[in-house]
Amino acid sequence: MTIVTRTTSGTQITEQHYKMPAAPAQRKMVRMTSIDKNMVCSTKFQVSKNEPLPELPASCIRLRVCFAGVCSPDTQRRRNSVRNKGLMDTSLFPGYEISGIVDEIGPDVNTKLRCGDKVLLYQEEDIGFDNGYTEYVIIKNPENAIPLPDDISLEIGALLPNGGLTAYTACLRARPYIQDCEQRKGKCNLLVVGAGGLGLWATIMASHLTGPVGTCDRNVKVIVADTNSEKLTVAKKHGCYSVVHWPRDCYEEQVIERTKDVCPDGIDVVIDFVSSPRTISRATKFLNERGVLVVGGNSQHTVEMNISELAKKEQVVIGVRKGTREELLHLIQLVSTGMISVPEFNTFKLDEADQVFQGLSDCSIHGRAILQVSPVSLH
């Protein structure tokens, strides 16, 4: 670490920066062994350690990736799901939920960042992952390199730009409806469908975004539903009011009765991160009049809805993808100040990538999974 002392307007300021070592000529990358023209992947991931280091254009930033969150699109690829090709199709960029250290800054870049600063990446562009988790990436838009405060680790930073931001945006979109429900009824029943990474984020955030700053709104009862009972146990640890088990082998009538037992007066807001035909159908059965359904899942299925019934009950359906850069900055501030806590996560070595994908596909890993792509310590 290099300590620099400078004087501004008579005030002495001390800055600390990491001294960056020279970048190696090659980089590590986790690659899929094969991808066909339909974007259907094989079932094996391998670590390659002799990939060429990406050249740095004058207007770009090169980032050394330290941590990469394993995102749901990555596990979907593992299950051979076919995704539509496109820039914002996150399945094209495995490892796009990343944090790391600024390695080099192009001479034409106008930024306050310096080499050695720790940042996370707001993903809105094709940064050339080339279908693999990679040790070095080129950031074409320097504004997408978001500085991390000292009190947020690079591990936690890797959780924020995708899972954290998506759940945060979903809760923001639902907030006015939650507040309206509280004004009308004195309370709000909120159902989170899915107890994975997104669901855990939403469980934490939902009641903290509607009450006074830094407090939990006790009028909002967060209920979590999932097919995996072990995931529901994890959800309980994250502060939800109650859980409801939706077993895959259970008759639909039984699932409905289970949910009604937990929420006898219905559901006012549903945040569905699964968004399958089955979960949407269930959600509309439980949803009260003037209720809102927030959908933000990765399901590629077409879902049929009774528009006449929606209109009759004055219900609202809101689609959520990923939030803005400004919302990400606000989320970072909330996490930094401790107003929002971080859900359970597990960190794995890069060499364990294939086992991690398998574990997530099998639902044997609970909470978020993070791959450590390169060491944090610098010399």
Is it the case that residue 311 has pLDDT exceeding 90?
yes
Q: What does pLDDT average to over the chain?
A: 80
**Long-range Cβ pairs for the range 277-285 (8 Å, 24+):** 277/301, 277/302, 277/303, 277/304, 279/193, 279/194, 280/305, 282/246, 282/252, 282/255, 282/256, 283/191, 283/193, 284/309, 284/310, 284/315, 285/256
Q: Please name the CATH architecture into which domain 166-319 falls.
A: 3-Layer(aba) Sandwich (3.40)
Of 165-169, 178-182, 351-355, 370-374, least confident by mean pLDDT is 351-355
Say which residues have a Cβ less than 8 Å from residue 331's Cβ, sequence separation at least 6.
160, 164, 165, 168, 323, 340
Q: At what angle do helices 165-185 and 325-336 cross, to 10 degrees?
A: 80
Helix, strand and coil content of the chain, in percent to the nearest 5, comes to 30, 30, 40
Regarding predicted confidence, which is higher, 308 or 47?
A: 308
3-state class of 117 per DSSP?
Answer: coil
Full 3-state SS string of 133-180: EECEEEECCHHHEEECCCCCCHHHHCCHHHHHHHHHHHHHHHHHHHHH
pLDDT of residue 250: 87
Over range 50-60, report the average pLDDT: 87
Instruction: List CB contacts of 213: < 8 A, sequence separation 6 or more.
Output: 339
Lowest mean pLDDT among 17-31, 107-121, 135-149: 17-31
Give the amino acid at 93. Answer: F
pLDDT of 89 reads 32
**Which of the four pLDDT bands, split at 50, 70 and 90, describes residue 116?**
very high
In tens, the pLDDT along 227-271 reads: 999 999 999 999 899 999 999 888 999 999 999 999 999 999 999
Q: What percentage of residues in the chain have a pLDDT greater than 70?
A: 74
Q: What is d(CA 290, CA 36) in angstroms, rounded to the nearest whole number?
A: 46
The answer to whether residue 42 scores a pLDDT higher than 90 is no
Per-residue pLDDT for 221 more than 90?
Answer: yes
Segment 92-97 shows an average pLDDT of 56
In the predicted structure, residue 8 carries a pLDDT above the cut 70: no
Domain locations along the chain: 2-159+343-372, 166-319
Q: Which fold, 2-159+343-372?
A: Quinone Oxidoreductase; Chain A, domain 1 (3.90.180)
Q: Is the pLDDT of residue 131 over 60?
A: no
Question: Residue 178: pLDDT above 80?
Answer: yes
* Closest alpha carbon to 285 in 305, 300, 301: 305
